[in-house]
Every structure is written in C-alpha cells, then in structure tokens.
Structure 1
Amino acid sequence: MVDTSTVTEMVAERRPPDLRRGLLGWLHTNLFNTPFNGVVTLITLALLAMVLWPTLQWAVFQADWLGDSREACSGKGACWVFISARFESIVYGFYPNSARWRVDLVFLLMAVLVAWLVIPRLPAKRWVGLFALVGFPVVAFFLLVGGSFGLEHVPTRDWGGVMLTLTIATVGIVGSLPIGVVLALGRRSQMPLVRGFCVVFIEFWRGVPLITVLFMASVMLPLFVPTQVEFDKLLRALVGIMFFWSAYMAEVVRGGLQAIPSGQEEAAKAMGMGYWQRMGLIVLPQALKLVIPGIVNTFIALFKDTSLVLIIGLFDLLAIIRAGLTDSDWLGFATEGYVFAALVFWVFCFSMSRYSQYIERRLHTGHRN
C-alpha cells in the first residue's frame, strides 16, 4: 500500500476526455487533432479537389451515356457510348450470338458458387467447395466448348473479352496453388532427386519472362510434338501460365513453411503421425494462414498478366477493346476504352484484396512456438 501521509504535491490536472462522437469526433481524432495535421488535411483536400473535379466532369457530368454511334458523342466529356455499343463483344468476344446463353449460365453458376463460399453463414461449404474445384470446371468445359449433349461446338479461337480473361485467371489460380504447394514441399524434401527436380523447375520458370513462356507455348511447342498431335492454343497458354505462376506460388508457400517452428512438426512426429498427416493437418494449415497476403498478391499479379495473351493472338478484355479502337467508326476513343478496362481489372483485384483481408482477420488466432 502507498503511504498517503508522505504525499505533499497534488497531481497535475489533465484534460477532460473528448466526448464528441460520430463524424465530428472522427474528424477531430484523425484529421484535425493538431494544428499541423489540420493544415496538412486542408492542403490535401484542396489538391484532391483540383484533380478530382475535372476528372468527375469529364467522366460523369459532361459524359455521353446513351446512343449507338459516335454521332451521339458531344465531345465535351467521355463518350461511354463506345463501351455500351460494343459491350457484347467486350463480354463475349466472338462467341456466337445463339450460344451466349451458355456463357451467361457459366457466369451465373460461378457467381453463385463464389457467393456461397464467401458468405460465412451458408451451410455445406465443404461440399460446395468440392463441387467448385471438381464439378464446376467440368460443367463449364462442356458448356463453353460444346460439341456434346446437342450443344454447338465453339472453338476457343472464338472466345474473347471478359469471358476469356476470367477463364484464364480462374484456371491459372486454381491450378497454380496446388502445384505450388507440391513444389514447395518438394523443395524441402529430404530426397535429393525430388528436391533437385523442384529446385530446377522453380528456378527455371522464375527466371524466364512470361512473354517468353507464352511465345514458347504458342510457337515452339508444336515443333516438338508429332504433327498428328494438335494442342489448342488456349490450352497451351493455360499450361504455360499455370507452370509460370506455380513457381512463384511455391516460393510464397515455402516462406510460410519456414516460418513454422520445427517444434510443431516434431510434436506431430512424436504422436506417430506420418509425413502427409503432419503436413496436411499440422504444418500446411498454419503455413498457408501466414502467407495469405503473398498468395493473394500472386493471384492479383496473375489476373493482371492475363492481358499478355494478346501477343499470341488471344483476344482477352484488353485486346477486344484495342481491336474496337481500330474500327474507323470509333477512332479517337482510346481513353474511354482503357479507362473501362482498368476499372474492370481494378474491381476484380480490389475484391480479391478485400476478401483476403477478411480471411486474415477471421483466421487470426495468434501464433505459438
């Protein structure tokens, strides 16, 4: 206990607590808590207004939205008529009009699966996730390619636009993660042959630009296979993209594996668990949780690099927009086209980033040695 008889000085008075709540309280706490911060806030707001107001005038207030030809564009602001007039080709590419309902069905099924897996309280997530990984690709393949069940065959050279971008990104993401996990485990293996193969595979694909990989897959690969064997161009690009990004994914996962203390695996080994039990039940779940930001960052980079398939003659979202700009009826609207493409890429990448942050918060359980 403190002897109060020895206290001879009064405690200095303190400022009363700030009882402001709501918007004013937030502004005072975060933006105007000191005179210097208040000045910096005002200067920043002024600079943002100088930049954002002309942009909003061009993109929204003075923009042209309705019409079906360039005559509907006044020239004062952005001409979004270019996007609306070519919207179907931007979404479907050269897919036949009579079969586009199949693309819509695949989009709808994908949206339902993603929403089911993202919304926390929906039941049977394990079965839905299994169907998303195994069943959905099969259903999407038969719907998009056709040639069976009475469906018209649509060759992949007629695919394009948003549907092609999502196809490449989805296959690349779903394929690169498990391959990367296997490569990361192989690189840490005690078997010299397995470890050496994984090291060579990872370092080779990480040391080659993706453009070179796509060129090799499109131009060089047919030279090394028998003439009677024909590989689809899109399939070659998908294999190249999966192998390329699986090498980067392997290094991300390997970083997570190295962050797990050796005591975790030693304790599992002492309990009599085999190698795959230790990895699948103890080590890998913790390692993957630690490297969620790195995994999602790789997914985002993969999604953005889908635009590189333009160089091998595949018309993804960006390529379709560039092709539309060569139309003599729409010359001079490159800015609108590229802004729309950038907005589409941003929406998908931002959604992945925000969902990864939600997963991090939900799985944050601390870390013990």
Structure 2
Amino acid sequence: MSDTHAQSTAFVRETMLPAKPAPVTQTGAVRWLRENLFSGPVNTALTLIGLFFVYTLVTHFYPWFRHSVWNANSMAECRAAITASFGDGATGACWAMIRERWHQFIFGFYPPELYWRPIAVFVLLFVALAPVLFTHLPRILLGFSVVYPLVAIWLLWGGSIWPVTMVAVGFVLGWLMLRVLSGVGSILAIVAAVVVPVLFWVFAVGPLDDALTSVLPLAIEPVASDRFGGFLLAITIGVGGIVMSLPLGVILALGRQSNMFLIKTFSVIFIEFIRGVPLITLLFVASLLLNYFLPPGTNFDIILRVMILVTLFAAAYIAEVIRGGLAALPRGQYEAADALGLDYWKAQRLIILPQALKISIPGIVSTFIGMFKDTTLVTFVGLFDPLKGIPDFIRADFNWKGIYWEPFIFVGAIFFILNFSMSRYSMYLERKLKRDHR
C-alpha cells in the first residue's frame, strides 16, 4: 500500500535552483577560439600555418621597425644614427623623411600660408556628409550638404566668387524648369532641366562674371591646379567622383532597363564602352586628346578633366551594380507599384530604387573604394599623386635619395584608414537597413 502511494505522489520543487555557470569551453575567448580558429582539423591546420607565417614576418621586419630613426635631416644621417646605435650592418626605417615632408604628402605644393583652406574644406566635408550618412540628424543640415561642393571649389581654387555663384544659379534654373514643366511632361521637364543650365553656363556666366566683378569684386587668392598634390589631390578627385558618379550610375541603370529604344541603346553603348576601356586610357584622353575637341583658346582645368573621366568610369560600373539590384527585386514589387497607381518616377523613388540600392550597397562601396585607389593613376598625366608623384619628387632631393619603403608604408596606411572607414560604414548601413531577422 505504501509503495503504491509513493508511486502516485508527485514531487514538485517549491524553490528554484541557482543558475550554474556555463562550461568554460562555451564562454569568452575559449569559445571564440574554438568556433573560429580550431573548429576542425582543416581549420586548426590553417590556423597553425597562418601563425607560422605571422611569426616569420614579425621576426623578419621587427628589427627594421625597432631601429627606426625619427630625427634626421638626410638619409645619410639616418644610416649613421642606425649604425651608431645598433652596430654595423643594422638596418632600420628612416621616418625622419615623413616627419620633414609630411606636408607634401598631404597638401602637395599648395601654398603653406593657405593650408587653412584645404583644412577647412576637409572639416566641412564631415559636416556636409553627416546628415547624408546618418539619417537621425536634422534634415535642415542637408541644405549645407547641397551647397558644400561649390564652397569647396571656391576655397580650394580661390579666385572670384561669382563664377561659383553662377554655377549655383544654373542649378536653380534647372530645378525651376523641372518644377514648372513637370505638369506638361516628364521627358520635356528633364530635357529642359538639363539644357537650360548648360546654355546659361556656356553663354551667360562669362558676361555676368565680368559685370559683377567690376561692380563688387569678391575674391580670394587663386591657386593653380598644378599646385595640388598628395592626398589633397586624391581626396578632391575621389570625393568629387563619388558624389557625381552615384546619381549618374543610377540614371544609366534605369536607362539600361528602359523600354525606350534610344535611351536603352545609348545607355548600353556608354556602359559597355567605358567598361571595356582601361582607366589609364581615359586619363590620357583627359590629358591629351580632349583639348583637340575644344574650341581654340579654351582653358579646361586638368583636374576637372580627370574628375569628369573618373566619374564616367565609376558611373559605368555603378550602373551595372545597381542593375543587378534592380534585377534581384521580385516582380511583385513592380506590380505593387502599378496597383497603387504610381507613375514611373514615383514608383522608382518610393518603392523600387530604395530596395535596389539597399541590395547594391556592397557593390557600390567596392566601386567607390576601387575608384579612390585608382586616383593614384593620375601620376601618368603629370599630376603628383601621393603614391608615386610625391615620393619621386622627394627622392629627387639628394638628401633623401635611396629612401624607398617608408613612403609606401605611410601612404598605404592612410589609404587603408580611409578605405576601411568606407567599408565599415557600408556594413553599418547594411545592418541598419536590414529588415529580416534570419
């Protein structure tokens, strides 16, 4: 009887057991090592091989970095200091060259007394990018983002303020044409928004500039394009190309998807031609051949020419990246836009493009990074890029003849910081726009 009663009585604990700590192998650094470096025989073998190579590289290059010299006036002084400190046959890095010539790597040959202008442009660049990159900031700041390119052009190149102002007036005229004629027809409005500013810039800017300058001369000291160099040149071309190539790439991608024969044909020919030609060829066109197609006496700034060709080159690749994003969208998204009664432009702006651009973020950022690194190719058209032009100029000085690795390491580190920042921001943007939680 007692056995039956014992079997039929349920035991219910009235208090909770205290939580036990997780196994050591499932927490902290040990867990990370097991999951990422020693998760299996192959992964373990690759980890050990990688550690061997890292150890070999560190032991080989560490003495060179440890023997670094920061205070010297020439390569000969660096070598003498290394020999005096570490004995005959010792080698070491001569960072004294970077310490003495860092301003040329950053500013090129920009007048030292005017360094405040590129520094101001660089600081204002972050102010202009902030509301674009981080949507939680006040939208009113976008007004400065719109006018920033013109402010940057005026500060960097200097001269009269009126040509830059006339460029802004041309964009305002284009916007007015788009608003006024939007009710007549979208194609006519777009054509007028492009043609009217171009005609204004070609025929009206010169006379208006002369008239306004004679009445109210507002100008700062001009700086010629051949004074640009180093990272000032690379960032100017890179940021300008990025800003202009993205909207142009979107237009080309939509044009390639268009049902209009002429627009689609032009877009396909442009994209395939640009993608089939090396960038260095386009840079030679910008430097040499473009002048043959311009009216006699035309002075077309070399940096502007290079920036235009770099923009076209990047836009062709961005167009294909965005076209992939458009093709990845389900057909139902287009049908949903039609069901809502949206016209083509509203459907693209509100439904199609936001999703396509989100899909295309990795490819777009990769194109931007590649384009920014390709700005070093401008050395072949006579501009002093930070990777080859400036180091070659420094080596021409007898005091620094023979220096080799230090400029490449310094320039490579700065390029890495800038490109890595773009890459990390793209990952942040992907996480922010991610809507699924798989």
TM-score (norm 2): 0.75
Distance in 2 (CA, whole Å) between partners of 1:50 and 1:198 is 51
Partner of 2:187: none
**Given the alignment, which residue of 57, 65, 72 partners 1:67?**
72
1:37 shift after superposition: 5.2
Partner of 2:159: 147
* 1:320-331 alignment runs, 5 A limit: 320-331=390-401
* 1:193-208 alignment runs, 5 A limit: 193-208=262-277
User: Residue type of the partner of 1:202?
Assistant: I
Distance 1:36 1:145, change over 3 A: closer
Partner of 2:101: 86
Distance 1:335 1:291, change over 3 A: same
SS at match of 2:159: coil
* 1:201-280 alignment runs, 5 A limit: 201-280=270-349
Partner of 2:149: 137
SS at match of 1:86: helix
Q: Let me know the Cα RMSD of the aligned residues.
A: 2.2
Distance in 1 (CA, whole Å) between partners of 2:303 and 2:116 is 21
Partner of 1:18: 23
Instruction: Tell me which moved more, 22-31 or 206-215.
Output: 22-31
1:331 shift after superposition: 1.1
1:329 shift after superposition: 1.1
1:129 shift after superposition: 4.1
Distance 1:266 1:63, change over 3 A: same
* 1:1-369 alignment runs, 5 A limit: 18-20=23-25, 21-32=27-38, 38=44, 40-59=46-65, 61-70=66-75, 71-73=77-79, 74-75=81-82, 76-114=91-129, 118=133, 123-124=137-138, 126-132=139-145, 134-148=146-160, 149-318=218-387, 319-366=389-436
Distance in 1 (CA, whole Å) between partners of 2:398 and 2:135 is 50
Distance in 2 (CA, whole Å) between partners of 1:46 and 1:353 is 29
Contact 2:270 2:316 in 1 (8 A): yes
Partner of 1:11: none
Contact 2:24 2:30 in 1 (8 A): no
Contact 2:256 2:264 in 1 (8 A): yes
1:32 shift after superposition: 4.0
Q: Deviations over 1:320-345 (max 9, x none)?
A: 12221222111111111112122221
Contact 1:69 1:85 in 2 (8 A): no
Distance 1:89 1:36, change over 3 A: closer
Distance in 1 (CA, whole Å) between partners of 2:43 and 2:343 is 58
Distance in 1 (CA, whole Å) between partners of 2:328 and 2:428 is 22
SS at match of 2:115: helix
Q: Deviations over 1:162-211 (max 9, x none)?
A: 11100000001111110000000011111111111111111111111111
User: Residue type of the partner of 1:102?
Assistant: R
Contact 2:228 2:384 in 1 (8 A): yes
Distance in 2 (CA, whole Å) between partners of 1:150 and 1:258 is 50
User: Residue type of the partner of 2:356?
Assistant: A
Contact 1:183 1:247 in 2 (8 A): yes
Ranges in structure 1 where 5+ consecutive residues have no aligned partner: 1-15
Alignment: residue pair count: 348
SS at match of 2:417: helix
1:106 shift after superposition: 1.0
The alignment-based identity, stated in percent, is: 46
Contact 2:275 2:317 in 1 (8 A): yes
User: Residue type of the partner of 1:94?
Assistant: F
Distance 1:200 1:117, change over 3 A: closer
User: Residue type of the partner of 1:189?
Assistant: S
User: Residue type of the partner of 2:290?
Assistant: L
Distance in 1 (CA, whole Å) between partners of 2:42 and 2:226 is 60
Distance 1:269 1:249, change over 3 A: same
Distance in 1 (CA, whole Å) between partners of 2:104 and 2:236 is 16
1:128 shift after superposition: 3.1
Distance in 2 (CA, whole Å) between partners of 1:234 and 1:145 is 11
1:118 shift after superposition: 4.9
Distance in 1 (CA, whole Å) between partners of 2:45 and 2:291 is 64
Distance 1:238 1:35, change over 3 A: closer
Q: Deviations over 1:264-305 (max 9, x none)?
A: 111111111010000010000000000111001100110010
Distance in 2 (CA, whole Å) between partners of 1:41 and 1:230 is 58
1:48 shift after superposition: 1.2
SS at match of 2:220: coil
1:161 shift after superposition: 0.9
1:36 shift after superposition: 6.8
Contact 2:118 2:156 in 1 (8 A): yes
Distance 1:130 1:150, change over 3 A: closer
User: Residue type of the partner of 1:81?
Assistant: A
Distance in 1 (CA, whole Å) between partners of 2:329 and 2:243 is 25
Contact 1:321 1:337 in 2 (8 A): yes
Instruction: Tell me which moved more, 240-249 or 21-30.
Output: 21-30
1:34 shift after superposition: 5.5
Distance in 2 (CA, whole Å) between partners of 1:118 and 1:68 is 43
Instruction: Tell me which moved more, 63-72 or 32-41.
Output: 32-41
1:351 shift after superposition: 1.4
